Amino acid sequence: MAATTPRPSEVRRFSAGERWLHLAVAVLMGLLIVTAAFLYVGPLSTLVGRRALLATVHFWSGVLLPVPLVLAAVLSVAFRRDARRLNRFHPEDKVWLRAALRGNLDAPSGKFNAGQKLNSAFVLGAIVVMFVTGLMLHFFDLVPDHLRTGATFVHDLFALMVVILAAGHFWMAWNDPEARRGLRSGMVSRDWATRKHPLWTQESAVDSDVRGPS
C-alpha cells in the first residue's frame, strides 16, 4: 500500500497508514463477528467442534483490536489530521443530517459527512466498551456475579449493534465503487470528490495535502 502520486484527475483521500489501519480493524472485527456467531448462535454452534479454539481466536482478536488504532495515532500524521476532522461537527453537518433524514445522502460535506462522523464515534466507543466488558467476561473469576451479568448484557447489546452497523457499512460500500477505490488505492477521482465532498475539495489547505505525498 505504498503512496503513489495522484494524476491531475485524482485526489489523495487516504494515506497508506490509514488504509492499513482500516484493513487491520476490518479483519479483526470480522474475526470477532464470525467467531461470536459460531460460539453463541445455536444453529451455527453445532457446526463446529473446537469451541475452545474459537473462543481463543475471539478473545485475542478483541485484545488486538485497539492496537492498530493506537499505532496509527502515534505514527500517522494523516490519521491524526483525519481524526480531528471526524471529531468536529460543523454547521454543514447538521444540514447533511437533516437531508439524510429525508433520504438525501448527497448534501454538501467536508472530507467526512455527518454520518461517517457518527459512525466513527460509535465504532470507537464500541471498541472501548466491548474491550472492557470482554475482559470482564474472560476473567470472570475476578468479577462479582452482578457485574458479570451486566457486562454480558452490555457486551451482547453492543455486539448486535456492531453487526447491524457493519451490514450497513458493507451495503453502502458495495454501492459506491469509488469509495472502495479510495480505501484500496488511496486515490479517488476529482469528479467524485467534488460531487460527494465538495467542501473538502474547496479547502485550499486540504487540497494541497491531498495532492502531495503522505
Q: What is the DSSP letter of 2?
A: -
In tens, the pLDDT along 74-93 reads 999 999 999 999 999 999 99
| pTM of the shown model | 0.86
In tens, the pLDDT along 169-179 reads 999 999 999 99
Instruction: Kindly report the number of other CB atoms within 10 A of residue 56's CB atom.
Output: 12
- CA 203, 209, 211, 214: dihedral to nearest 10 degrees? -160
- pLDDT, position 204: 42
Q: Residue 3 pLDDT > 60, yes or no?
A: no
Average pLDDT, stretch 151-170?
94
Tell me how far apart the alpha carbons of residues 192 and 55 are, in angstroms, rounded to a whole number.
43
Tell me how far apart the alpha carbons of residues 98 and 101 are, in angstroms, rounded to a whole number.
5
* DSSP element (H, E) containing 82: helix 77-86
Tell me how far apart the alpha carbons of residues 145 and 152 are, in angstroms, rounded to a whole number.
10
